[in-house]
Amino acid sequence: MPHQLSIFAENKPGKIEKITGIIAEGQINIRAVTISDAGDYGIIKLLVDNPERGFELLKSENIAVNLKEIIAVKIEDKIGGLHEISKVLRENNINVNDSYGFITEPKKEAVFIFQVADPIHAENILKKEGFSLLSDRELYLI
């Protein structure tokens, strides 16, 4: 199952710079970034091509970091693409916590990434419904 880095950061200038500096120095490439902000602090989420290495590097710099399991599903880049998978998730009572998406091939393919309470259960259901899930290797090589 793929992972992303969740990093605790104070809401101050220079925090993203520091973290991305460590990532870049480790020759790690960032595929996607999101930030959830809760006032004084927030969580920076990085999808990178080598999350284990990123995790170790950040940890060695005394940064509060965690590897979070995520689900990455291929969807069609068309009107209603996200709606289709949302319907399946709703039918199976799966609640999406954090999510984002990006286009991999314009007008053809996109990836929807999200966190759920029980990723294995969600994965099984999506596979059964015929969705194509990206493995960590596939995802990191996008």
Positions that interact with another protein (CB under 8 A): 6, 8-10, 36, 38, 40-43, 45, 59, 62-68
C-beta of 38 vs 79, nearer to another protein: 38
C-beta of 7 vs 85, nearer to another protein: 7
Residues 6 or more apart in contact with residue 118 via CB below 8 angstroms = none
Closest separation between CB of residue 115 and another protein, Å? 9
How far apart (Å, rounded) are the C-alpha atoms in residues 23 and 36?
19
**Which of 3, 19, 31, 27 lies closest to 59, judged by CA?**
19
Closest separation between CB of residue 67 and another protein, Å? 8
The answer to whether 102 and 81 have CB atoms below 8 angstroms apart is: no
Closest separation between CB of residue 14 and another protein, Å? 12
